[in-house]
Structure 1
Amino acid sequence: MTSPTIRELAAAATSASEVNASGAPHVPTSFALFKAFFFIGLTGFGGVLPWARRMLVERLGWLSSREFAELLPLAQLLPGPNVANIATVLGRQYRGAKGAAIAVFGLYLAPTIITICIGYAYARWGHATITEHLFAGLMPAATGLVIATVLKLVTSLPRGATSIVLVAATFIAIALLKIPLLIVLAVLGPLGTIAMLRRTKE
């Protein structure tokens, strides 16, 4: 049994709940792609990744938990924001280059407008005491969103000691030893790939 390619993983991003009467996989329209990623960008306060997973996996079923967890490393390896890379992959898979552009445009539309407005407000009232308290109060909530997403991703990992060792090694290397992310991925990425290939051949 061979390991699935990235193209095959992206092609598998349609759930059984989204199959029409003829048995063919349901392909989202361009508007559906725009709407999904627009709401991801609009509601992604404190980090878009948690809301991207909730929308794509839990609400729309375009990806399973395992598929999202497998697509995320690819998005992290590519240049640019993770969720934008995911939007590009899914948009391209369903609607070609036009779908990729629409998905990314939808993702960034609301945050761009909101950020411009907040930037203007911060320039005027950023040094006020109430503003400092507001940002201090938002930090725990944003941290909680990231931790919740990490826990959900961990539950999607293949069972076994290898996964636990790789997760622990990655955490130690980045959080404790402060090793640059690219170096960590360059070393642990191939090791994880080799370990998973060996498991599929057993």
Structure 2
Amino acid sequence: MLTLYRPGNGPWHRLPAGPKILALMSIVLGICFLPVSWVSALIMAALCLAVYAVPGAGMRVLGRQLVAVRWIILVTAAGQLIFLGPEEALTNTTRVTAAVVISGLLALTTPVSELLDALERALAPLERVGLDPQRAALVLAITLNTLPVLASLAREVREAQRARGGRQSLRHFAMPFLVVALKHADALGDALTARGVR
């Protein structure tokens, strides 16, 4: 399975997966419940900066994450500006961006095996009601990794187009990106089947 994990020694890397999931999830939930206002947008941006300012992550990594989700930012901002005012558009776009980028930090600083183990332990009590903790943990781990992986694939497609002197338009980007994303999904499905996951 393609993973975005980057080895390191920073506090986020050293923090065990369980507490890290709880910490980042709490920050994202806090962001989701902030009211719509200019001040809330500033708080969300500050939280995002603070999370990445920790040694081992850094502003360069945050910059790469923001570049990777630039289309999400653009589409969200455009849709919000069409139907809502500038304050709502800025707040909601900042909210979505901060939530995605902060969640991406989990994939960057946690090996998939540790993530699976933590999720499996957290879901173990639900086995009494018929939930398979291993399968549920695998689905959650794949879900957490999907958006950052797709952002990484999008960046690779853009770089390949630039290297070939291709035109920079959404129409020329969409088809190659769709092909690469479907290939990734197919390879992931094959890998899961080979491991006996159905």
TM-score range, shorter chain: 0.3 to 0.5
Relative to the length of structure 1, the TM-score reads 0.32
Relative to the length of structure 2, the TM-score reads 0.32
